[in-house]
Amino acid sequence: MPEFLGRRKSFIPGAPPQRSRVGFTLVEIMVVIAVIIVIASIGVPGILRQRVNANEAAAVAALKTLSAASVTYRAIHTSYPSNLSDLYDPAGAQYIDSTLASGTKQGYNFTLSGDADGFNATAIPAKPNITGTRYFLIDLDGVIRSSASGPADESSPAI
């Protein structure tokens, strides 16, 4: 039988030829697994960071929505809304969607406080450093401010 059909010469003189084994060795499999782990460790953090960026962009958009809804609410009523539930009435006016009115949307918790003179809306990560890394604030002037070290306030830099 020719060698290429599965037989090979024995390394021991006088021993019968041995069949070659088909498959991968343990070392080969371990090398492949190590390569997969290295590739995954390079790619996963980038994917997770993109999710945080998307959550932060959604929080900024939601704050703009809250600002516009608060100004619209003030045009109809005598003061700005005192909380999120003022902006969503299932049987009446709905200035924002029910998800945002619940106070949590896309990894951020939202609060709104207002009176006759103005309002403040904040977005705080539901799980800091996991769902978001920055805290946001918007008030009557419409400028969104952010802070990475804690809740944003009027002295925080604008984005």
50 near 41, Cβ under 8 Å? Answer: no
Where do the DSSP E strands lie in 29-126? 104-105, 108-114, 119-125
Total length of the chain: 159
For residue 140, what pLDDT is reported? 92
Q: Give pLDDT tens digits for 36-57.
A: 999 988 888 888 889 999 999 9
Q: What is the pLDDT of residues 89-142, one digit of tens each?
A: 888 889 999 999 999 999 999 999 999 999 999 999 999 999 999 999 999 999
Both tokens of residue 10?
A: 């024995």
Mean pLDDT for the chain? 89
Listed by start position, the domains of the chain span 47-147
Query: What does the DSSP assignment read for 10-52?
Result: -SSTTPPPEEPPPS--HHHHHHHHHHHHHHHHHHHHHHHHHHH
Q: How far apart are the C-alpha atoms of 61 and 106, rounded to whole Å? A: 11
pTM of the entire structure? 0.74
Q: Is-contact 17 11, C-beta < 8 A?
A: no
